[in-house]
Structure 1
Amino acid sequence: MFVIFGAAGNVGRVSAAALRRAGREVRAVVRDGKQGEVLAEIGCEIAIADLLDPASVARAIEGAYAVQILCPVPRADADPANTMRRMIDVSADALRANPPQRLLALSDYGAEHASGTGITTLFHTLETQLAPIDSQLTFLRAAEHMHNWARVLPIALARGVLPSLHHPLSKLFPTVAAEDVGLLAAELLLDDRPARVSPRVVSIEGEARVSALDVARTLSELTHRPIAAHEVPRGEWATMLQGAGLGENHARLITDLYDAHNAGRIDVETEISERRFGATALAGVFASILARVAVTSTASATSAAR
């Protein structure tokens, strides 16, 4: 049994589907039954679990040959870092008590740093907690996900301005499509060759690094309207993030992350990492996001007209 936590997410659903195509039994772990409906249609067994509840996590990994684990960021949480640490503790305790033969953790570029990287510090905690578990262990460290830009697309489309915390706008940074991460995760779980080292560290980013200028140019080309990248001044970051609905503590995790990004600390750890590259380009991801936005806008307009 292959157990996929966060199976309804952008990465997990791709991993679950790839494993099903390979003929493997998959247990898709989700927060509620509604999330599991599409996964059940492709033949997944559905498990409902709360990552803060030790009993439900323990049940989810019963009989597992392989487990794909993650540490989701709780958006609507007053103290997301503390909540994430509790999730990590619960998952690590369950996996120590009942270790699967294979264990893959979805991690982040920069996870080798113990401090000073905002949200990425939590992925360091995840790796540290999982390292002693008696499994064939892989840390899959991904670059910044391309779909994260979806958060500012409404601003870009409405105002023709793409706000960026990447400074300067011309700075190249690694990014990756969630689909490529999910496919690689499934490939690594299916790789039954004996590991040369454990934990195995694998990194993934897109074929080409991009800048905020590239992101704005790609959006302009797809939408056929002028969109300019705007370097948000450092002193305005917290206000902008909190205005977008993030709590003070969550906003601080983001600002610390981008301070580390702009200082060059968030990158592949080349000395120990096996490097992989995704095939999906930024334009492909944005086209998919924009198509969903168009469908949602059309549906809203139709509903309002009734």
Structure 2
Amino acid sequence: MFVILGANGKVGRHSIQTLRQLGAPVRAIIRNADHAAALQILGCDIAMADIHDGQALRPALRDAQAVQVICPISPRSDDAGAQMRSSIEAIVTALAETRPASVLAISDYGAHHASETGIALTFHHLEEALRGLGLPLSVLRSAEHMQNWARLLPRAIETGVLPSLHHPVTKLFPTVSAADVGEIAAQLLTTGSGAGFRVFHAEGPERYSTADVASALASLTGREIAARELPRAQWLPALVQGGLSASYAELVAEMYDAHNAGRIEVEEVTGNVRRGETGLHQALAAMLGSPL
């Protein structure tokens, strides 16, 4: 049995779809019963548990051949770091008791750094906590998701300006479709992790810049759209205005500081990169509902 935490998220759902296509048995862990029917259609067993509740997670994890772990952070949490630490503690406590044959964790580029990486630092803590269990562990460090641009697209189309926290806007950075991360994770789950600790990185078929995003968006919409650096002093107000809590906005800003300093990258020690097939144009078209 393959057990998927965060089963209703973009990564988890695509992991499930890939596993089921391979004929593998899957147990989907969700906290909202409204999502059960769609997952049952895929042929999943359903377990109800909140990711912050270690006691509820234990029965959901029993008899697992492999467990896929993801720790989502609420973008509106008053203390996003504390919320992540609470999730990690609950998950690790449940895994310590149930001892699955192997664990695969969805992590982040830059998670090998132990300081000053914002959101990526929370995934460093996740990796370290899971390593402490002594279970066979694989981590899949995901590049920035292409779908993160979705919240900026309507404004960019309206104003003709795509603001960027990537500086300069011509800088190429790693990015990947969330669906591809889910598929790569499923492939790693089914190949097993053997003993010890393995690190993989997931990114798309090539790297892009914010200028590339603006150009692709212009091509898809027939409008003139230019990429513009958002000045550092405006990051936090803009992120909060966009709906993020002050706590989460601080983590995002710190991560982009690290990005612009070249620290959110493939760890040189491992260098094991799995590439998804979805290109930027295809991903943006799907977000816009546009035919290719």
The one-letter code sitting in structure 2 at the alignment partner of 1:53 is: D
8 Å contact from structure 2 (residues 236, 253) kept in 1: yes
CA distance in 2: counterparts of 1:49 and 1:192, whole angstroms: 25
Match of 2:151 in 1: 151
* 3-state SS in 2 of match to 1:29: strand
Unaligned residue ranges in structure 1 (runs of 5+)? 295-306
Alignment of 1:65-76 (within 5 A): 65-76=65-76
Q: Deviation of residue 194 (structure 1)?
A: 3.5
* 3-state SS in 1 of match to 2:149: helix
CA distance in 1: counterparts of 2:6 and 2:230, whole angstroms: 32
Unaligned residue ranges in structure 2 (runs of 5+)? none
CA distance in 2: counterparts of 1:178 and 1:246, whole angstroms: 20
Match of 1:125 in 2: 125
Say yes or no: does 1:49 pair with 2:55. no
CA distance in 1: counterparts of 2:47 and 2:285, whole angstroms: 32
Cα displacement string for residues 89-148 of structure 1 (whole angstroms, at most 9, x for unaligned residues) = 110111111111121000000000111000110000000000022322100011101000
CA distance in 2: counterparts of 1:65 and 1:257, whole angstroms: 34
Match of 1:60 in 2: 60
Aligned residue among 218, 231, 242 for 1:220: 218
CA distance in 2: counterparts of 1:270 and 1:193, whole angstroms: 21
8 Å contact from structure 1 (residues 180, 279) kept in 2: yes
Distance 1:279 1:88, change over 3 A: same
Alignment of 1:176-191 (within 5 A): 176-191=176-191
The one-letter code sitting in structure 2 at the alignment partner of 1:176 is: V
Distance 1:251 1:216, change over 3 A: same
The one-letter code sitting in structure 1 at the alignment partner of 2:90 is: V
Match of 1:283 in 2: 281
8 Å contact from structure 2 (residues 177, 204) kept in 1: yes
Distance 1:241 1:271, change over 3 A: same
- TM-score (normalised: structure 2): 0.97
Match of 1:104 in 2: 104
* 3-state SS in 1 of match to 2:106: strand
CA distance in 1: counterparts of 2:54 and 2:269, whole angstroms: 36
Percent of aligned pairs sharing the same letter: 47
**Which stretch of structure 1 is more off in the superposition, 183-192 or 132-141?**
132-141
* 3-state SS in 2 of match to 1:105: strand
CA distance in 2: counterparts of 1:257 and 1:194, whole angstroms: 32
8 Å contact from structure 1 (residues 19, 26) kept in 2: yes
Alignment of 1:1-306 (within 5 A): 1-192=1-192, 194-195=194-195, 198-291=196-289
The one-letter code sitting in structure 1 at the alignment partner of 2:276 is: G
